[in-house]
Amino acid sequence: MRRSSRGACATWRDPRREQAGCTIAEIWDPVPDARAGAALGRALRALRYNEESIVNLLGEDGPAAGLSDVAVFDRRLPDSPLGDAARLLLLQIAITRDDAVAALGDEGLDALLTTQIARADGDRIVPRGRVVPAEGLLMSFDGFAVGDDDPHGYVASYTPTASWLAALTPRRRFGRALDIGTGSGAQALLASRHSRHVVATDLNPRAVAFTSLNAALNGIDNVEVRLGSLFEPVAGETFDLITCNAPYVVSPEDRWQYRDASGFEADQLSQTVVTQAPRYLNDGGFACMLVSWLAESEESQDVRVERWLADNDCDSWVIGLSGADPLDHAAGWNEHLSDDPEDYGAALDRWTAYFEELGVGWITEGAVLMHRRSGDVHMIRTDSADEDELEYASDQVERVFEALALVAELDDPQELLGERLALAEDARIEQSVGEDGARVVLEAGTWPELEVDDETVDVLVELDGRATVGEAIDRARMPPRRSTLEDLQELLELGMLELRS
């Protein structure tokens, strides 16, 4: 179930400080002043305001602090410049001007006020938004969500879905990268580390402003931000990497621009992104996106997304991260209303009626990864992964698509006999004493696993990257069984085996 920080905004006072950022809804917009952003970034880096420091002060959950954590975390923080910076920018608590100067310096405080992320109120500095360290970056965005009082064009924090997409994106060197529906710009900034030039697009002017500001905060100068919907600002251009974590939640709502696919019926936003992305990819390019797709039932859950991926000149890997029937889906996305049974029930009825009208019995949310390449045959692979176990998968993704390109040319698993394979670095063979067979696990990426028999284990032990599959089978002193070759192909497609030249 998704965690939500939405709900009533608790307030309290003490002699030194008060939470002020979410007690009164303000109409404000971030100012993407490059000089101010750079100065604020320097001040925060000098203070060592980063993930490691926040974890040391607040524990592993510190950088992902939600509104419900504020009271406890406030009391855990020390009365120090770093502690006060965390109160102001992570927890959205007002602090005194003197404490702000001690934390940021005069130049840093002036920069913060210039960006409008905070404002001066007498001798207090009152936060409007937040600046949070994530993935080695400093990310600014709107303050804690408070429901209907959120500003129009609310820009969300670095969310779990953002981390999932970051984990599934290949991190090889690219020439040109594109992030559509960029939000706060997280994926664009991450891509800037391994891309010559990045374009980020968003229909929301506040998102465009936050992305520009975040580039300045991090001293990044190879990200170009364009205002517009999805691919419209890059018509006629092509890229080596495309990422997308646009609003993909299928719902009857349109109130939250960062969540709901406003202006698109059902899963049409996801369909648009998936079907249009290949035409903007260079040969050899990758597209990685988080989307939703609908089905009549759980048994047919991937039929629709596979139809989107047909005949697109790409190999595709679909990874389901969560799935639910309409009631569970509605309950998860309306959990912020659970303290009010009447409103919660009304929302559940409205959402389930919407899905019933659409004829939908199952909603899947997950990732679609594509690799464009030449060739007459292209592969579509579907898997599922536990979102809570997902880790950085760049190497696995590269292996999977290399495998799919090979398998597309095979007519029979017997053709693997001439290939040289080896277990991936993070792959493990787990055997239990007294039990037949074993389990092969990749302890990285999507953490896939596959049960294999003893004969396949004997062959896996012989695969050292130098011997061919046929030679490894001979060393294991067994005939080339079809079931073993099928297991090897499956391990290869899951990224647990790698091809060696």
- For residue 480, the model assigns a pLDDT of 78
Residue 23 predicted with pLDDT over 50: no
User: 43-76: per-residue pLDDT in tens?
Assistant: 999 999 999 999 999 999 999 999 999 999 999 9
Over residues 454-458, mean pLDDT? 94
| 152-323+367-374 and 413-500 share one fold | no
Element (H, E) at 151: none
Over residues 426-443, mean pLDDT? 92
* DSSP code at position 260: B
Secondary structure (3-state) at 98 = helix
Residue 151 predicted with pLDDT over 50: yes
Burial class (CB in 10 A: 0-12, 13-18, 19+), 425: exposed
- For residue 232, the model assigns a pLDDT of 97
CA distances, 345 to each of 8, 107, 327, 332, 353 (Å): 18, 50, 11, 13, 12
User: 240-251: per-residue pLDDT in tens?
Assistant: 999 999 777 888
- Nearest-angstrom CA–CA distance, 171 and 18: 42
- Which numeric CATH code is attached to 152-323+367-374? 3.40.50.150
- Nearest-angstrom CA–CA distance, 243 and 262: 20
Least Cα distance to 26 among 158, 111, 131, 117 occurs for 117
CA distances, 123 to each of 17, 87, 150, 405 (Å): 11, 16, 26, 63
pTM for this model (two decimals):
0.90
Q: Is-contact 138 214, C-beta < 8 A? A: yes
Residue 226 predicted with pLDDT over 90: yes
Pairing between strand 223-227 and 195-202? Answer: parallel
Residue by residue, DSSP assigns 235-300 as TT--EEEEEE----B--S--S-TTTB-TTS-TTHHHHHHHHHGGGGEEEEEEEEEEEEEEESSGGG
Pairing between strand 380-384 and 195-202? Answer: unpaired
Helix 326-333 × helix 341-358 angle, to 10°: 140
Residue 91 predicted with pLDDT over 70: yes
Over residues 283-306, mean pLDDT? 94
% of the chain at pLDDT higher than 90: 81
**Structural domain spans, the chain:** 18-128, 152-323+367-374, 326-360, 413-500
- Nearest-angstrom CA–CA distance, 463 and 469: 7
Upper half-sphere CA count for residue 334 (Cβ side, 13 Å): 25
Structure tokens of 35?
């000089």
Upper half-sphere CA count for residue 217 (Cβ side, 13 Å): 31
User: 339-368: per-residue pLDDT in tens?
Assistant: 888 989 999 999 999 999 999 999 999 999
- Nearest-angstrom CA–CA distance, 462 and 472: 5
- State the Rg of the chain over Cα: 25
Structure tokens of 88?
């102001």
Over residues 3-16, mean pLDDT? 30
- The second-level CATH assignment, the architecture, of 413-500 is Alpha-Beta Complex (3.90)
Secondary structure (3-state) at 304 = helix
- Nearest-angstrom CA–CA distance, 193 and 41: 17
Secondary structure (3-state) at 457 = helix
Question: Mean pLDDT in the chain?
Answer: 91
User: 169-183: per-residue pLDDT in tens?
Assistant: 999 999 999 999 999
Upper half-sphere CA count for residue 14 (Cβ side, 13 Å): 10
Pairing between strand 438-442 and 427-430? Answer: antiparallel
Residue 78 predicted with pLDDT over 60: yes
- Nearest-angstrom CA–CA distance, 269 and 262: 9
User: 95-122: per-residue pLDDT in tens?
Assistant: 999 999 999 999 999 999 999 999 999 9
User: 351-410: per-residue pLDDT in tens?
Assistant: 999 999 999 999 999 999 999 999 999 999 999 999 999 999 999 999 999 999 999 999
User: 128-138: per-residue pLDDT in tens?
Assistant: 999 999 999 99
- For residue 261, the model assigns a pLDDT of 55
Secondary structure (3-state) at 382 = strand
